[in-house]
Amino acid sequence: MIRPELRAALSRWSEVMTGLAIAVLGLWAMPGAQGGFFQGLAALVALTGLGLAAIGWRRLRFHQGGEAPGVVQIVEGQISYFGPETGGFLGIDDLVALHLLAGGHAWRLEATGGDMLDIPTAAKGADALFDVFATLPGMQMQAVLHALEDPSQARIQTVWQHPDQRRGSPALPRR
């Protein structure tokens, strides 16, 4: 009953809209709340909604439109990419660098021992990489979003490097 384009747009914006709806609910409840405790609770609900909307906005900016070949899966600390011509897997704890390849069409994940995995930014399931990248030590998600929005800056952009690698350590030990 709903057009596929509209359904896809609503799905992409669902986190932002849910966060904003929660914030509006908190703001609506605030004036009618009796006592400071309930007003504080309503304010907390409104702030939580705004926080959820902000996270949803970041995820929305991370999402790359279009379709690329392959499927990305994140299972028990391991990133797997199954593509038509290439593929592989890397442990999240083994990552030492993250690069955005020319034109912003693929991520290059670099692990200890020199292992690398290229994943198209628009592959099915690639949006799950947002959560993985956000947990990397010293990661600045704003730098990742900026690189995605302006991929013309360099042929290969390094958007994250493990803090121990930046200090010149030869290699990280395997865990």
pTM of the model: 0.67
Q: Are residues 81 and 134 in the same domain?
A: yes
Q: Could you tell me the pLDDT band of residue 48, with boundaries at 50, 70 and 90? A: very high
Domain assignment present for 85: yes
- Determine, yes or no, domain membership for 174: no
Please say which residue of 62, 92, 108 terminates a domain. Answer: 62
Q: Same structural domain for residues 109 and 154?
A: yes
Same domain, 57 and 80: no
pLDDT tier for residue 169 given thresholds of 50, 70 and 90: very low
E strands of the chain, at which residues? 68-75, 78-82, 87-91, 95-101, 106-111, 116-120, 123-124, 156-161
The last residue of a domain, from among 62, 79, 94: 62
**48 lies in which domain range?**
4-62
Domain membership flag for residue 175: no
Contact 58, 141 (CB under 8 A): yes
Across the beta sheet with 123-124, the strand order is 87-91, 78-82, 68-75, 123-124
pLDDT band at 47 (very low <50, low <70, confident <90, very high): very high
Q: Which helix (H) or strand (E) holds 29?
A: helix 4-29
User: Is the residue at 81 inside a domain?
Assistant: yes
Neighbouring CB atoms inside 10 A of 156's CB total 9
Residues 17 and 98 in one domain: no
The number of distinct structural domains making up the chain is 2
Does 160 share its domain with 80?
Answer: yes
Question: Higher confidence at residue 175 or residue 55?
Answer: 55
Confidence check: pLDDT of 147 > 70: yes
Q: Are residues 51 and 78 in the same domain?
A: no
